[in-house]
Amino acid sequence: MRRLNPSLVAGGVIVGVIVATALLSFVWTPYDATFVDPSVRLATPSWAHWFGTDKFGRDVLSQIMVGSRTTLFVGVVAVGVAAVIGVPLGVLAAMTPRWPSELIMRTNDLLLAFPALLLAIMFGAVFGASTLTAMVAIGIASVPSFARVIRSGALQVMRTEYVLAARAAGRKPFPIALRHVLPNVTSLVTVQASVSFAIAVLAEAALSFLGYGTPPPTPSWGRMLQESQEFLFSAPRLAVFPGIAIALAVLGFNLLGDGLRDRFDPKLEDRR
């Protein structure tokens, strides 16, 4: 019997709780997350409002619960877009001869130099501001870092003798990419995905603040953090709760990524 990997368990539990919270928020929250109650503005935590209320008197716990939906959405879309484009691009850059590879990587550098937020704002202006357009833009902006990391990993795999042996046996480039390169760079993909996830959550916060992310009444952890800025000294809890939520989410996905990487690494499979 294989021993369960602790980071897989911890990551799974944290991500599981976030997913459960998001699902629960569809059917129940303590208060309507968007309900404004001027009588309890900036209330401290109490039995009525466990996490207190914000400057409009909205319940923070309810907002966090509903906000988890935005966070999951953000993570899946942004990381998905980045990985689906970035991973093949990186592998392609590693496997093509000199000049096409150079072309891919220099284009990549160009995109890397382009501010992600500016790209998101452009997208928002063209396609209309929404969480989806913002996150597609953030995803596209994360493509270069994916491509770069995956390319360096794929280059290492391409230099191994097992790839040489596969070529000597007549394997064509595409099957080599599929059979040998991709399985051996998956650990890099999971690590990069958890980094990109953290960046996406924070970028969503900034974009919401600028009015190009999640439109105002829909709660989002990022915007809660942003709105708490003016009360950082008078009511730091407004920053603490969404801050903890974001940190937990990032940690959870990181642990899950690590755990999955180890789980699928045959070298660690029978570790005593």
Partner 1 sequence: MPNEPAPNHPAVQVIDVVRDYPRPRTSLLGPTPVVHALRGVSLEVKQGERFGIVGESGCGKSTLLRLIAALDRPTAGQVVVEGTDITTLPERRLRFLRENLQLVFQDPMSSLDPRMRVRDIIAEPLVVQGHPASGERVRELLEAVGLSADAGDRYPHQFSGGQRQRISIARALAPRPRILIADEPVSALDVSVRAQVLNLISDLVDELNLTLIFVSHDLSVVKHVCDRVAVMNAGQIVETGPTADVYAAPQHPYTQRLVSAIPTLERALSGATTTDLLPSKGETA
Q: Which stretch binds partner 1 (CB under 8 A): 41-49, 85-93, 188-196, 262-270?
A: 262-270
Q: Which is nearer to partner 1, 14 or 94 (CB)?
A: 94
In the complex, least distance from residue 175 CB atom to partner 1, rounded to whole angstroms: 8
CA-to-CA distance for 266 and 29, rounded, in angstroms? 43
Q: Which is nearer to partner 1, 176 or 249 (CB)?
A: 176
Q: Does 236 engage in binding with partner 1 (CB under 8 A)? A: no
Binder among 99, 161, 174, 234 for partner 1 (CB under 8 A): 161
Q: Which stretch binds partner 1 (CB under 8 A): 42-50, 53-61, 122-130, 263-271?
A: 263-271
In the complex, least distance from residue 185 CB atom to partner 1, rounded to whole angstroms: 10
Buried b (16+ CB within 10 A) or exposed e, 70-104: bbbbbbebbbebbbebbbebbbbbbbeeeeebeeb
Distance (Å) of CA 95 to CA 32, 154, 169, 185: 53, 8, 17, 14
In the complex, least distance from residue 55 CB atom to partner 1, rounded to whole angstroms: 53
Burial class of 267 by CB neighbour count within 10 A (0 to 12, 13 to 18, 19+): exposed
3-state SS assignment for residue 42: coil
Q: Does 103 engage in binding with partner 1 (CB under 8 A)? A: no
DSSP symbol at 129: S
Q: Does 175 engage in binding with partner 1 (CB under 8 A)? A: yes
Judged by CB under 8 A, the number of residues near partner 1 is 21
